[in-house]
């Protein structure tokens, strides 16, 4: 597998669940939050013991990709330049009544999906929508059952190359990746969308999203 190390921006329940799942797959994890690494030590020891805490501005250093897992209301706290040139997985979700940055609201009002809004803001990053429509409980749960082992997750991107890399990560985490034809198609993965928090296999997920499975 080409993915050896990932960065995670966000050390909440979703971020630490992904960190545990990645570590179980043999992937090294760097993780950052609004707090400095020295203040994350106890938290990580409890919830993501194999992850290494780093400064948020250093999260893209020496990793294969970065996963964005912060609340969308905190997006303005991220230094856009620190993620320039990075393959950035948007695993965030838009929740009702959550205060959002002005640029984000304007993009949504213009008809963009949340990931398209993020891609427009992080212009120098390569944004892919993925890992957002599964709960943190299920992210690192035991997938010994056949149904769990076949669970599919969508990967939405305007680049087949970037989608392929994220599909590789998704598969390493123990899921069946389904590539969507565009970043805009990731709208169906958002809260209230056709596949959000649904346990589906690859065929079922593709059908829910109206993808051609022939």
pLDDT at 148: 61
Q: Looking at the 3D structure of the chain, how many domains does it have? A: 1
Q: Are 139 and 197 in contact (CB under 8 A)?
A: no
**Least-confidence region, from 9-23, 135-149, 192-206:** 135-149
The token pair that represents 179 in the structure block: 């590539």
> Bridge-partner residues for 28, per DSSP?
5
Average pLDDT over residues 140-162: 83
Confidence check: pLDDT of 214 > 70: no
pLDDT at 142: 72
Residue 213 lies in a domain: no
Confidence check: pLDDT of 147 > 60: no
pLDDT tens for 170-181 read 999 999 999 999
The arrangement of strands across the sheet holding 52-53 comes to 52-53, 28-32, 5-9, 65-68, 87-90, 126-130, 152-156, 176-180
In angstroms, rounded to a whole number, what is the distance separating the alpha carbons of residues 31 and 103? 26
If you average pLDDT over every residue of the chain, what do you get? 94
Residue 146 pLDDT level (bands cut at 50, 70, 90):
very low
3-class DSSP state of 191: coil
What is the DSSP code (8-state) at residue 105? H
Confidence check: pLDDT of 145 > 90: no
Q: Are 65 and 3 in contact (CB under 8 A)?
A: yes
3-class DSSP state of 6: strand
Residue 88 lies in a domain: yes
Question: How many Cβ atoms from other residues are within 10 Å of residue 38's Cβ?
Answer: 7
Residue 43 lies in a domain: yes
In angstroms, rounded to a whole number, what is the distance separating the alpha carbons of residues 44 and 106? 36
Residue 214 lies in a domain: no
The token pair that represents 214 in the structure block: 């022939």
**What is the domain range of residue 119?**
5-208
pLDDT at 140: 86
Residue 132 lies in a domain: yes
Average pLDDT over residues 86-104: 94
pLDDT at 60: 98
CATH number at residue 117: 3.40.50.720
pLDDT at 179: 98
Residue 82 lies in a domain: yes
Positive or negative CA dihedral for 104, 11, 33, 53? negative
Average pLDDT over residues 150-165: 97
Confidence check: pLDDT of 149 > 80: no
3-class DSSP state of 182: coil
**Rounded to the nearest 5 degrees, what angle is found at the Cα of 77, between the Cα atoms of 71 and 80?**
105
pLDDT tens for 53-90 read 999 999 999 999 999 999 999 999 999 999 999 999 99
């Amino acid at each position: 597998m080409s993915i050896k190390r990932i960065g995670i921006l966000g050390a909440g329940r979703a971020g630490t669940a992904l960190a545990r799942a990645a570590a179980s797959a043999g992937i090294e994890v760097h993780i950052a939050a609004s707090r400095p690494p020295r203040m994350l030590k106890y938290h990580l020891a409890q919830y993501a013991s194999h992850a290494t805490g780093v400064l948020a501005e250093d999260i893209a250093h020496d990793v294969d990709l970065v996963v964005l897992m912060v609340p969308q209301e905190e997006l303005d706290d991220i230094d856009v330049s620190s993620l320039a040139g990075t393959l950035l997985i948007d695993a965030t979700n838009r929740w009702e009544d959550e205060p959002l940055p002005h640029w984000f609201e304007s993009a949504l009002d213009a008809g963009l999906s949340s990931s398209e809004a993020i891609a427009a803001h992080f212009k120098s990053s390569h944004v892919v929508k993925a890992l957002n429509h599964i709960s943190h409980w299920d992210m690192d749960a035991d997938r010994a059952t056949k149904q769990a082992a076949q669970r599919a997750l969508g990967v939405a991107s305007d680049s087949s190359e970037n989608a392929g890399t994220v599909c590789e990560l998704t598969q390493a985490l123990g899921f069946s990746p389904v590539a969507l034809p565009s970043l805009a198609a990731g709208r169906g993965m958002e809260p209230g969308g056709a596949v959000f928090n649904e346990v589906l296999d690859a065929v079922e997920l593709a059908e829910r999203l109206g993808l051609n499975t022939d």
